[in-house]
Structure 1
Amino acid sequence: MADRTLSPRTRRFLSADALFKLLRNRFEAVQDDRKDANVTYPLVDVMMSALAMFVFKDPSLLAFEDRKDDPSLKSIFNIKKIPSDSQMREILDPVDVEHLNEAFADIFAELQRGGVLKSFRYLDGGYLLAIDGTGFFSSSKICCPSCLVKKSKDGKTKYAHQGVAAVLIHPERSEVIPLAIEPIIKQDGETKNDCERNATRRLLKRIKKQHPKLKLTVTEDGLASNAPHIADLEEFGYHYILGAKPGDHKHLFDQVIDAGDDSQLHSIRTAKIDQKGSYRETQWAKQLPLNKSNPDVLVNYVGQADLTSDGNIKSMFSWVTDHAVTRATVLQIAAGGRCRWRIENETFNTLKNQGYNFEHNYGHGTQNLSTVLMLLMMLAFLIDQVQQACCPLFQAVLSKLGSRRSLWFRLRSAVDSFIFRSYREILEALLSDRCRYRFLPP
Structure 2
Amino acid sequence: MISTENPFTFDSLVEQLRRVICDFPDKRTGKKVHYNMCDIALSAFSLFFTQNPSFLQFQRDMEKTKGKSNAQSLFQIDKVPSDNHIRDIMDVVKPELVYPVFNQVFNSMNKHGHFDNYRCVKGDFLIALDGTDYHNSKHIHCENGNITNHRNGTKTYSHKAILPVLVAPGKDTVISLEPEFIIPQDGHNKPDCEPEAVKRWLTKYSEHYSPLGVTLLGDDLFCDQPIGLAIKDAGFNFILVGLPDSHKTLYSFLDFLSQNKGIREYTNQRWTGRERLTDTYRFVNEVPIRDGQDALMVNWCEITTTKADGTIVYQNAFATNHSITEDNVMEIVADGRSGFQTENENHKTLKTKGYHLEHNFGHGKKHRAKMLVTLNVLAFLFHTVLSFFDHRYQQVRQVLGARKTFFDAYINTIYVFFQLGCSS
Normalising by structure 2, we get a TM-score of 0.91
User: Cα–Cα, structure 1 residues 217 and 428, in superposed 2: closer, same or farther, change >3 Å?
Assistant: closer
The residue correspondences of 1:261-280 to structure 2 (distance < 5 A) are 261-274=259-272, 275-280=274-279
**TM-superposition CA deviations, 1:39-66 (whole Å, max 9, x none):** 2111121111111111101111153342
2:40 maps to what in 1?
46
State the identity as a percent. Answer: 27
TM-aligned CA deviation for residue 31 of structure 1: 2.2
* 1:174 CA drift (Å): 1.2
Map 1:14-413 → 2, pairs under 5 A: 14-61=8-55, 63-67=57-61, 69=63, 70-187=68-185, 190=190, 195-211=193-209, 213-274=211-272, 275-293=274-292, 296-413=295-412
Q: Residue 144 of structure 1 contacts residue 367 of structure 1 at CA under 8 Å; is this kept in 2? A: no
State the partner residue of 1:439.
none
Contact 1:26 1:99 in 2 (8 A): yes
Q: After TM superposition, give the deviation of residue 196 of structure 1 in Å.
A: 1.0
Distance 1:365 1:346 in 2: 29
Question: Are the structure 2 counterparts of residues 306 and 392 from structure 1 closer, same or farther at C-alpha, using a change threshold of 3 Å?
Answer: farther
Q: Secondary structure at the match of 1:12?
A: coil
Deviates more, 1:16-25 or 1:31-40: 31-40
Deviates more, 1:179-188 or 1:309-318: 179-188
Q: Is this contact kept in 2: 1:242–1:320, CA < 8 A?
A: yes
Alignment check: 8 A CA contact 2:210 2:234 kept: no
- Pick closer, same or farther for the CA change 1:130–1:394 going to 2, 3 Å: same
Mapped to 2, the partners of 1:211 and 1:265 lie a distance apart of 34
- Summarize the Cα distance change of 1:293–1:38 in structure 2 as closer, same or farther, 3 Å threshold: farther
Contact 1:73 1:79 in 2 (8 A): yes
Between the aligned partners of 2:243 and 2:228, the Cα distance in structure 1 is 16
SS of the equivalent of 1:116 reads: coil
Q: Report the CA distance between 1:216 and its aligned residue.
A: 0.8
Q: Distance in 2 between matches of 1:263 and 1:16?
A: 58
Distance 1:428 1:91, change over 3 A: closer
Could you list the runs of 5+ residues in structure 1 that have no partner in the other structure?
1-8, 430-442
Letter of the structure 2 residue corresponding to residue 366 of structure 1: K
| Cα-to-partner distance string for 1:67-105 (whole Å, 9 max, x where unaligned) | 474344213212111111111111111112221222211
Root-mean-square deviation over aligned CA pairs: 2.2
Q: Is the 8 A contact 1:148 1:185 kept in 2?
A: yes
Q: 1:428 to 1:83 in 2, by over 3 A?
A: closer
Deviation sequence 1:343-386 (CA, Å, 0-9, x none): 00000000111111111111121221111100000000011111
Shift in Å, 1:208: 1.7
Is the 8 Å Cα contact of residues 273 and 280 (structure 1) preserved in structure 2?
no
Map 1:422-437; keep pairs closer than 5 Å: 423=417, 425-427=419-421
Q: Which moved more, 1:339-348 or 1:68-77?
A: 68-77
Q: Which runs of 5+ in 2 are unaligned?
A: none
Shift of 1:341: 1.0
1:398 to 1:286, Cα distance in 2 relative to 1, 3 A = same
Letter in 2 for 1:56: T
* Greater Cα shift, 342-351 or 38-47: 38-47
- Which moves more between the two structures, 349-358 or 122-131? 122-131
- Tell me how far 1:294 sits from its aligned partner: 5.9
- Whole-Å separation in 2 of the counterparts to 1:366 and 1:388: 36
1:145 Cα deviation (Å)? 2.2
Amino acid at match of 1:313: I
- Mapped partners of 2:4, 2:328: distance in 1: 34
Query: Number of aligned pairs?
Result: 414
Match of 2:248, as an amino acid?
Answer: K
Mapped partners of 1:92, 1:294: distance in 2 = 50
CA gap 1:304/1:400 in 2 versus in 1, 3 angstroms: farther
**Secondary structure in 2 aligned to 1:61?**
coil
Inter-partner Cα distance in structure 1 for 2:119 and 2:61:
42
SS of residue in 2 equivalent to 1:175: coil
The one-letter amino acid of 1:119's match is: N
Measured in 2, the distance between the counterparts of 1:149 and 1:239 equals 33
Aligned partner of residue 20 in structure 2, secondary structure: helix
Distance 1:407 1:29, change over 3 A: same
Offset at 1:212?
A: 5.5
In structure 2, do the counterparts of structure 1 residues 197 and 17 end up closer, same or farther at CA, with 3 Å as the change threshold? same
